[in-house]
Structure 1
Amino acid sequence: METEFKKCTEEDLKTLQEISIETFKDTFEAQNSPENMRAYLEKAYNLKQLESEMANEFSSFYFVYYNNETAGYLKINTEEAQSEEMGKDAFEIERIYIRTKFLRKGLGKYLLQQSIDMASAQNKRKIWLGVWENNENAIAFYERMGFVQTGAHSFYMGDDEQTDIIMTKVLS
């Protein structure tokens, strides 16, 4: 297995948009109405929105490659870019998605470890994320990786208010 990790640049915006839409739809389309899915995708993954997020100095996107193919991506936030006020000692994983054909190859764990390494290098004390309360596989994965539930917040899929569980791991 040859795995690479690369920070995204503006030249990657179109690929980032494509992989964002693909992985989000693959993960959540079956549990949501077509109208709400379309509304969310148009809002969250339009090029202007992604460009704005990429331009934020406290947010970064990364691709993971598996045997030279783009297999997934990661978005991290610190400081005021965090989607919840968690303090300056916190590091957020806002998005971690792997394309369907690359699942079960250890890439989620790889991206999670990259995140932990970055958080530790920045002297962050905790790493956190939000995960949909009905995404049992993801919740179980994060629990195996040492995350515990520390709260919840609303997530809007179109006009459907859903609940994301906030999970946190304290870094040593």
Structure 2
Amino acid sequence: MENIKISKASIEAVETLQEIGRATFFETFATSNTGADMKKYLDEHFSREQLITELNHPDSRFYIAWEDQSPIGYLKVNTAQAQTELQDENSLEIERIYVLSAYHGKKVGQQLYEKALEVAGLLKKSSVWLGVWEENPRAIKFYTKNGFVPFGQHIFKMGDDEQTDIMMRREL
């Protein structure tokens, strides 16, 4: 899509990030999880307070994808102590690439991914890594197509349910 713009998010964008995050997470995972687990996860991870904390972390960066004046997705990347697990000073973690389902297949996720690579390059990182749910074949295919290879697993808590994420890395 030619008219997609990606901009760095500031604290003023907290409601936008909250709306996109809740909507995309629900669209992607609601059918595979219980209502109680989904509600617990959304309430804990997409609360205004939680997102403000994340936005204020010096080692995290958020970018919003816009179509005209409408937010349609976002990217969250982490370095150093903000990384959810690996905490490798030479790596950048892609924690979230969230795109509203109406924009799937329109290269918005690819543009957000390319923004992550741009940030990694500016920060002189030697690799990017992420965790992707083992039961999300669409995402696994996307990351594999973009040069990621599995290197481990970790547990992701979805409400009270423990799920397995495949950890994937791409050397730069």
TM-score interval for Structure 1 and Structure 2 normalised by the shorter chain: over 0.9
Task: Write out aligned runs for 1:88-99 (5 A).
Answer: 88-99=89-100
**Deviations 1:70-115, CA, capped at 9 Å, x for gaps:** 1100100001100013410000000001001111111111111110
**Deviations 1:8-47, CA, capped at 9 Å, x for gaps:** 1111111111111000000000000000000001110100
Task: Write out aligned runs for 1:27-66 (5 A).
Answer: 27-66=28-67
Task: Give the counterpart letter for 2:159 in structure 1.
Answer: G
Alpha-carbon distance in structure 1 between the residues aligned to 2:122 and 2:22: 30
- Stretches of structure 2 that go unaligned for 5 or more consecutive residues are none
SS of the residue 1:21 aligns to: helix
TM (norm. structure 1) is 0.97
Range 154-163 or range 2-11, more displaced? 2-11
The yes-or-no answer on 1:20 pairing with 2:35 is no
The yes-or-no answer on 1:166 pairing with 2:167 is yes
Which residue of the partner structure matches residue 136 of structure 1? 137
The yes-or-no answer on 1:79 pairing with 2:102 is no
SS of the residue 1:146 aligns to: coil
Contact 2:79 2:87 in 1 (8 A): no
- Stretches of structure 1 that go unaligned for 5 or more consecutive residues are none
Which residue of the partner structure matches residue 126 of structure 2? 125
Alpha-carbon distance in structure 2 between the residues aligned to 1:65 and 1:18: 14
SS of the residue 2:106 aligns to: coil
Contact 2:98 2:109 in 1 (8 A): yes
Which residue of the partner structure matches residue 116 of structure 2? 115
TM (norm. structure 2) is 0.97
Contact 2:93 2:129 in 1 (8 A): yes
Alpha-carbon distance in structure 1 between the residues aligned to 2:161 and 2:72: 29
Alpha-carbon distance in structure 2 between the residues aligned to 1:137 and 1:74: 17
Alpha-carbon distance in structure 2 between the residues aligned to 1:135 and 1:160: 16
Q: How many residues align?
A: 171
**Deviations 1:129-151, CA, capped at 9 Å, x for gaps:** 11000000100110000000011
Alpha-carbon distance in structure 1 between the residues aligned to 2:104 and 2:88: 33
